[in-house]
Amino acid sequence: MDAPIQQEVAAAHPKAAIVTTCILAALAGLMFGLDIGVISGATQFIQAEFKVRDHMIEWIVSSMMAGAAIGALGAGWMSASLGRKRSLIFAGIVFIAGSLFCAVAWSPAILIVARLVLGVAIGVATFTAPLYLAEVAPEKIRGAMISTYQLMITTGILLAFLSDTAFSASGNWRWMLGIIAAPGVLFLIGLFFLPDSPRWLLMRGRREDAQIVLAKLRGDEAVVKKEIAAIDEQLKTKQHGWSMFKENANFRRSVGLGVLLQAVQQFTGMNVVMYYAPRIFKDMGYDTHAQMWFTAAVGLTNVLATLIAFAFVDRLGRKPILYAGFTIMAVGLGVVGTMMGLGINSRGEQFFTVGMLLVFIVGFAMSAGPLIWTLCSEVQPLKGRDFGIAASTFTNWVTNMIVGATFLSLLSGIGNAQTFWLYAALNALFIFVTFFLVPETKGVTLEQIEHNLMSGKPLRKIGQ
Ligand code: BGC
């Protein structure tokens, strides 16, 4: 190996380099979560200031998801041509600009545009950050890194809920939406210290730069050589997503599965609670102060229950956890709907209903929250992985938007109880979807999954 690379190896502090990368993982996930969580506490004050109807609020909420869908579509191209690091820097800048733009929005229409801009940043970041992480993390901690990312999403949501709660005393929604630019600045500064992804550098033919980066990250010449050889080998498999999609029916099945799984994740109704929790608590009879604190409790429950998934996913497998999660969610929402139908009058009934909503949150956070993302990356064959993941991530945002844009209309159109029953029924249906279509991928190599898929095995059996 060349002298400069040997020097890098000698001077390397691989632990420090990996810690820095972990911090980035944390911050990118945090941005995602902040963006999801920040709007819930602000809507009632926005509605009061602009005197708009529920329908307009739905669009203010959902324009962010529309932006994210657009961002996720463009992110594949951007991360390939500009590189992962520069795409993330782009996302960081747009995130800061978008948050500040939201804070100064002078009309509902401008707020919609500002949230759309903010969404683009998140769309790019949600595609690029996990990709970057998977490319720089050492093999041993790759799984842990992706899990950390999911935990940070929920932490971001919790922080946004807490910050909204703090600002709710003054009712200042502009501060609520603007303050998230501050962690955005930290994210952006952090990005400048990161190396380019070695895989991307090799894709671009910058072999020596790739070796130097890996030397810094691994601090071991033999490991660097091995990884470079492995990446070279992988790069021989060119990405042929679109042509493969047109020609190969088996690949269409895995893309379809990814798309279906992300739609399932969103139609659990989780984001109804993420975006409209204070409104739901209002309909249960709570005042603004209590609404905000219960929303914070929702955020905390979401973080804590995500840890359950970490503990069990590699022991029990994906399917049992999904069965448990969908059952818990169906029961939780079914009971919330029933209580709303019967009328929530006493303190005891109020607490019970809040408790059942928290049960629903536990069901999601321990199962579909982290697992759907994991499954979506596991089921795609190597040649079509970028295409498949882009399709499912795009679906996540489009269905997320549909859920966000219809909730208040459902409440007024079919009624509170019926809306929650509808989501309860969908969760019950997802138990069957899991049974018939979801493979068990615990402890199976990606190569085995690909082999089974391509040889035409039914989807639920491609993990065997
Ligand atoms: C979902 C988001 C959701 C979050 C809640 C993620 O896995 O994709 O839509 O808001 O979990 O924790």
In the chain, the domains with their CATH numbers are 3-461 (1.20.1250.20)
Q: Is a pLDDT exceeding 90 seen at residue 46?
A: yes
Query: pTM for this one?
Result: 0.89
393-417 core/surface letters (b: 16 or more CB in 10 A; e: else): bbbbbbbbbebbbebbebbeeeebb
The pLDDT, as a whole number, for residue 159 is: 95
Tokens of 207: 């072999």
The pLDDT, as a whole number, for residue 198 is: 86
Q: Is a pLDDT exceeding 90 seen at residue 109?
A: yes
Residues 6+ apart with CB under 8 A from 355: none
Residue with CA at minimum distance from ligand 1 atom 6: 369
The pLDDT, as a whole number, for residue 143 is: 62
Which atom of ligand 1 is least distant from the CA of 154? Answer: 12
Distance 364 CA to ligand 1 centre (A): 9
Distance 257 CA to ligand 1 centre (A): 18
pLDDT bucket at 456, cuts 50 / 70 / 90 = very high
Strands (DSSP E) contained in 140-189 are none
Distance from C-alpha of 14 to C-alpha of 214, rounded to nearest angstrom: 9
Are 210 and 198 in contact by the 8 Å Cβ rule? The answer is yes
* Coil/strand/helix, residue 440: coil
Residues 6+ apart with CB under 8 A from 167: 41, 173, 175, 176, 179
Q: Is a pLDDT exceeding 60 seen at residue 1?
A: no
* Coil/strand/helix, residue 5: helix
pLDDT bucket at 175, cuts 50 / 70 / 90 = very high
Most confident of 162-171, 261-270, 340-349: 261-270
Higher per-residue pLDDT: 385 or 147: 385
Q: Give the chain's length.
A: 464
Residue whose structure tokens are 């960081």? 92
Residue type at 217? L
Are 33 and 156 in contact by the 8 Å Cβ rule? The answer is yes
Are 222 and 361 in contact by the 8 Å Cβ rule? The answer is no
Residue with CA at minimum distance from ligand 1 atom 11: 369
Average pLDDT, the chain: 90
CA angle, residues 54, 56, 59, in degrees to nearest 5: 115
pLDDT bucket at 417, cuts 50 / 70 / 90 = very high
Query: Comparing 51-55, 100-104, 119-123, 200-204, which segment has the lowest mean pLDDT?
Result: 200-204
Residues 6+ apart with CB under 8 A from 384: 239, 240, 241, 244, 245, 251, 254, 255
Query: Comparing 46-60, 97-111, 198-212, which segment has the lowest mean pLDDT?
Result: 198-212
Residue type at 369? G
Q: Is a pLDDT exceeding 70 seen at residue 152?
A: yes
pLDDT tens across 221-252, in order? 888 888 888 888 877 877 778 888 999 999 99
The pLDDT, as a whole number, for residue 188 is: 93
Residue whose structure tokens are 């590189």? 83
Tokens of 452: 């089974």
Residues 6+ apart with CB under 8 A from 299: 37, 154, 157, 158, 159, 160, 161, 162
Distance 368 CA to ligand 1 centre (A): 9
The pLDDT, as a whole number, for residue 200 is: 86
Distance 135 CA to ligand 1 centre (A): 23
Q: Which residues line ligand 1 (CB under 6 A)?
A: 36, 153-154, 157, 265, 270-271, 274, 302, 369, 373, 396, 400
